[in-house]
């Protein structure tokens, strides 16, 4: 392979660039992989959370809280720059960038939500990471350029959840990125961030850097995309919730997508489709344990077995479950569902007799609406619900599992259990206080005792620990 050819895109998450030691490690990983010519970075550590706090505090006029959030970001990045041994000139530039961040935050007007301004602010985290990494890499003798994602990734203007223009990205990649790579430059860019047609910064949704990496991989037509995170691959469930998780060496695109959509935050749910469009395998592994085998996500073989491969869980503050006899699947229910969607409801499941909707907060109805509501089948509102999803290809063909489910769920106060079609997940809704018990029970019964060795993640701590 020529040194000026790209074969992999590598994305590093928040923990992977969490401090100077981590950033040094990232450069080591990149230098070891000559095919990696594009590095996509997340914000360092908890920076995006601090930026959200800063925005929220400014919006409510909580100046002290806002100042504290800014201070955390300031201290975190100046310490990293110091520990990386950056030059005085770099320090001056870092200071300018941090001053710009403060100036943007000062434009937030009390009680005037401004999604465009919020995205502008939230994007600073990734920019600061790119700044630190590119300067450090240069200092270490690597020919590096930071190409701003706002100039690369065109999106629509849905601030906070922007959708990429994949064709537009391709054109910009050819015009701006490919020539740099061909000239032997290691290019660094921000994950999570793009810009709309007016040039205003946008973000792809929390955790969206994985999605960015996959989009760049698709546009470049590389052989692999590498997602470096704080766990050595995808496990059978979140290792923060279950001790006896098992590593999963291979997952299909569909399984990975279903796992992420069901709340398994190891990758962003939209990471899969751009890579899948080009048949690009996605590898997930830990930058803290670079030698570990990790997980490969690629197209399923022809003989995928109908087994539960993983569990995921997701919280819903307010859940509505509507049920009606088939004969009564009437206009009334249709209209009601439409009304509930207008009130912000997200339909999680829908069949002829049942609908499950999630809301961010409790709904208010006037007396007329309440009467109308009672006339349309049976509607129940539940607060603090968690959905546990069983993920696996062709679960609907697993008669044994279906027969066993009632016994497995017995005693857990299940509010509804649904089979998502054509998704691969069985979803079980339970009160949040029962969810962890159920997750552990299902993990024990369905995933442990399969002849695999239980694997407690060896290291999830920050690099400098
Ligand atoms: P990054 O900042 O690198 O994007 P994230 O925190 O977004 O990292 O995702 C990694 C985290 O995802 C892990 O620390 C882990 O707690 C969580 N996670 C949830 N489900 C899984 C799973 N099935 N396998 C591995 N990690 C999981
Ligand atoms: N920094 C962003 C977030 O925390 C994007 C990402 O990490 O993927 O949501
Ligand atoms: Mg993430």
- Conformational region of residue 153, where left means phi above 0, alpha means psi within -120 to 50, and beta covers everything else: beta
Whether 206 is in the pocket of ligand 2, judged by its Cβ within 6 Å, is yes
Extended beta strands in 324-423, E state: 346-350, 354-359, 378-391, 416-419
Pocket test for ligand 1, best of 239, 293, 439 (most atoms within 8 A of CB): 239
Pocket test for ligand 2, best of 76, 77, 209, 211 (most atoms within 8 A of CB): 209
Q: Which one, of 324, 329, 358, lies nearest residue 341 by Cα?
A: 358
Residues of the chain with pLDDT under 50: 1, 451-460
pLDDT at 65: 97
Q: At what angle do helices 63-84 and 47-60 cross, to 10 degrees?
A: 160
pLDDT at 450: 61
H or E element that contains 87: none
CA dist 68 to 95, 104, 180, Å? 17, 16, 39
Q: How many other β-carbons are positioned within 10 Å of the β-carbon of residue 129? A: 30
Whether 235 is in the pocket of ligand 1, judged by its Cβ within 6 Å, is yes
Q: Which one, of 399, 409, 458, lies nearest residue 438 by Cα?
A: 409
Whether 209 is in the pocket of ligand 2, judged by its Cβ within 6 Å, is yes
For ligand 2, atom 8, the nearest C-alpha belongs to 207
H or E element that contains 187: strand 186-190
Structure token digits, residue 463:
């690099």
pLDDT at 420: 74
Ion ligand 3 — residues with CB < 5 Å? 13, 207
Q: Hey, what domains does the chain have and what are their CATH numbers? A: 8-298 (3.40.1160.10), 310-450 (3.30.2130.10)
Q: Report the C-alpha dihedral over residues 233, 463, 138, 30, rounded to 10 degrees.
A: -20
Atom of ligand 2 nearest to the CA of 212: 8
Ligand 3 centroid distance, CA of 225 (Å): 15
Pocket test for ligand 2, best of 10, 17, 121, 125 (most atoms within 8 A of CB): 125
Whether 247 is in the pocket of ligand 2, judged by its Cβ within 6 Å, is no
Whether 191 is in the pocket of ligand 2, judged by its Cβ within 6 Å, is yes
Please state the φ and ψ torsions of residue 263, each to the nearest 5 degrees: 110, 0
For ligand 1, atom 15, the nearest C-alpha belongs to 238
Atom of ligand 1 nearest to the CA of 311: 23
DSSP class of residue 269 equals G
Tens-digit pLDDT profile for residues 299-355 = 987 666 788 999 999 999 999 998 887 665 667 788 888 888 998 999 999 888 889
The reported pTM is: 0.94
Q: Which one, of 296, 293, 284, 297, lies nearest residue 228 by Cα?
A: 284
Pairwise CA distance, residues 61 & 118, whole Å: 15
Pocket test for ligand 2, best of 124, 192, 201, 202 (most atoms within 8 A of CB): 192
pLDDT at 152: 98
CA dist 320 to 35, 50, 344, 373, Å? 49, 32, 12, 12
pLDDT at 353: 85
Extended beta strands in 95-172, E state: 144-146
Q: Tell the burial category of 379 from Cβ atoms under 10 Å away from its Cβ (0-12, 13-18, 19+).
A: middle
């Amino acid at each position: 392979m020529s040194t000026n050819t790209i074969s992999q895109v590598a994305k590093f998450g928040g923990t992977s660039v969490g401090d100077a030691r981590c950033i040094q490690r990232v450069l080591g990983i990149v230098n070891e992989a000559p095919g990696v010519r594009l590095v996509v970075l997340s914000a360092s550590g908890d920076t995006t959370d601090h930026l959200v706090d800063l925005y929220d505090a400014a919006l409510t006029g909580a100046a002290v809280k806002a100042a504290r959030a800014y201070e955390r970001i300031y201290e975190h990045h100046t310490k990293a720059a110091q520990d990386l041994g950056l030059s005085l000139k770099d320090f001056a530039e870092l200071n300018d960038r941090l001053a710009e961040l403060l100036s943007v935050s000062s434009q937030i007007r009390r009680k005037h939500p401004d999604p465009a301004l919020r995205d502008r602010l939230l994007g600073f985290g990734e920019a600061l990471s790119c700044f630190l990494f590119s300067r450090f890499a240069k200092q270490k003798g690597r020919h590096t350029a930071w190409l701003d994602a706002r100039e690369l990734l065109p999106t629509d203007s849905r601030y906070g959840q922007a959708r990429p223009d994949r064709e537009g990205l391709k054109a910009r990649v050819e015009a701006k990125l490919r020539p740099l790579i061909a000239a032997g430059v290691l290019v660094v860019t921000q994950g999570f961030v793009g810009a709309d047609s007016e040039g205003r910064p946008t973000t792809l949704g929390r955790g969206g850097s994985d999605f960015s990496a996959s989009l760049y991989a698709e546009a470049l037509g590389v052989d692999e995309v590498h997602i470096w995170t704080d766990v050595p691959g995808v496990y059978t469930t979140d290792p923060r919730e279950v001790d006896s998780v098992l590593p999963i060496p291979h997952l299909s695109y569909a399984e990975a997508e279903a796992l992420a959509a069901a709340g398994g935050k190891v990758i962003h749910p939209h990471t899969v489709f751009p890579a899948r469009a080009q048949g690009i395998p996605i590898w997930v592994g830990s930058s803290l344990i670079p030698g570990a085998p990790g997980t490969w996500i690629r197209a399923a073989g022809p003989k995928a077995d109908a087994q539960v491969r993983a569990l995921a869980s997701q919280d819903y503050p307010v859940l509505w479950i509507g049920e009606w006899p088939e004969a009564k699947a009437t206009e009334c229910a249709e209209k009601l569902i439409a009304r509930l969607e207008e009130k912000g409801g997200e339909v999680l499941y829908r069949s002829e007799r049942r609908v499950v909707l999630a809301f961010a907060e409790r709904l208010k109805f006037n007396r007329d609406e309440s009467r109308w509501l009672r006339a349309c089948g049976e509607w129940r509102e539940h607060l603090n619900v968690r959905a546990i999803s069983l993920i696996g290809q062709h679960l609907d063909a697993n008669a044994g599992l279906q027969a066993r489910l009632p016994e497995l769920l017995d005693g857990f106060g299940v509010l509804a259990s649904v089979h998502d079609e054509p998704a691969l997940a069985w979803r079980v809704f339970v009160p949040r206080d029962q969810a962890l018990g159920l997750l552990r029970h299902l993990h024990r019964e369905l995933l442990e005792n399969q002849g695999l060795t239980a694997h407690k993640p060896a290291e999830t701590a920050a690099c400098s620990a």
